[in-house]
A and B are shown apart, each in its own frame.
Chain A
Amino acid sequence: QQQVKQSPQSLIVQKGGISIINCAYENTAFDYFPWYQQFPGKGPALLIAIRPDVSEKKEGRFTISFNKSAKQFSLHIMDSQPGDSATYFCAASDSNTGTASKLTFGTGTRLQVTL
């Protein structure tokens, strides 16, 4: 099965700190790597996404780093805030099949930002 492995399972970070979540994939056909944020009782919401032609993408406090040769990508949340406390999912898909949102998800990371 084509998997996306995500770590850590849970993360506690102090307010103002940096949260780092890592993912690794196996399928070299994957070319679209989004990160989703999910609050309890809500559906996943797209945070930021990257394609393999760049090694880093930044949007506000959120940065994706991508290492194509290692088949790894990570999410960095700078200046973490209590409002960032949520579950984060990495995902991957092969957009060449015309199904960019047929996503393979990681297992999720529950982030808690403490005061």
Chain B
Amino acid sequence: DSGVTQTPKHLITATGQRVTLRCSPRSGDLSVYWYQQSLDQGLQFLIQYYNGEERAKGNILERFSAQQFPDLHSELNLSSLELGDSALYFCASSGGVNSEAFFGQGTRLTVV
């Protein structure tokens, strides 16, 4: 168990809908990272937050947004969902900006 908790584990929703994925980092970790894992694109970095502020951005679509709250948990919001958004979404956390990251077990999103 990495100590990173992601909810829900599975999510099935229809095209055009909006969902929120939640991540609780390991106790004391200030950095949260979001990754998308799909069959055609592999594991791709989406966005990083450090202590509530956006730190780095990757290949994140404009329809997607994230935030990190004062208690350090993070949410990834996905809107106007398309079939191609079906993927595993992982959250990882690290103690500092240059520390090892620990991954959660992921949320499997299926858009139908």
Listed in ascending order, the chain A residues whose CB lies under 8 Å from chain B are 34, 36, 41-46, 49, 89, 95, 97-108
Let me know if B105 and A101 touch, CB within 8 A.
no
**Chain A residues, CB < 8 A from B45:** 102-104
Q: Which of B44, B55, B105 is in CB contact (< 8 Å) with A43? A: B105
Q: Mark B58-98, 1 if CB is under 8 A from A, else 0.
A: 10000000000000000000000000000000101010011
Contacts of B104 in A (CB 8 A): 43
The reply to whether A98 and B98 contact each other, CB–CB distance below 8 Å, is yes
Q: Contact at A102–B33, with CB atoms within 8 Å?
A: yes
Say whether A99 contacts B48, CB under 8 Å: yes
Chain A residues contacting B103 (CB-CB under 8 Å) are: 36, 43-45
Interface SS of chain A: helix, strand, loop or mixed? loop
> Chain B interface secondary structure, helix, strand, loop or mixed?
strand
Q: Are B43 and A43 in contact, with the CB atoms below 8 A?
A: no
Are A44 and B56 in contact, CB atoms less than 8 angstroms apart?
no
User: Chain B contacts of A42 at CB under 8 A?
Assistant: 105-106
**Assuming A44-B90, A104-B45, is B97 touching A99 (CB within 8 A)?**
yes
In the assembled complex, 14 residue pairs joining A and B whose CB atoms fall closer than 8 Å, in A order, are A42-B105, A43-B90, A44-B90, A45-B2, A49-B100, A89-B43, A98-B98, A99-B55, A102-B33, A102-B45, A102-B56, A102-B58, A105-B42, A105-B43
